[in-house]
Amino acid sequence: MQKQLDKNNFDKEIQSGLKLVEFYAPWCGYCNKQEAVFKELDKIWIGQVNTDDNAEIAIRYGINSFPTFLVFKDGKEMERFSGLRNKFDIMNVVTKYI
């Protein structure tokens, strides 16, 4: 499940449970390729932050490359990783926190 996040819903959405958040830019080729991988991960909650429209969130988390992923558990950042990833890489990171 993918959900667009912005300044109005970001904090509320990450505050409980296990959440994977992708920071992306619409012009980023790797980000666009990542979308195909997300279709294979339809059982995982994936929040997406368009950094062009939500620069303040990207700045708050020190995002400087795309795509960058943050794993949150009950609002606390547990891990981050960057770059185009396959479904197995993503699952290996996320399942560590279940």
Catalytic residues: 28, 31
DSSP assigned state of 84:
-
The H or E element containing residue 5 is strand 2-5
The answer to whether the peptide bond before residue 26 is cis (omega within 30 degrees of 0) is no
Structure tokens at 95: 């399942």
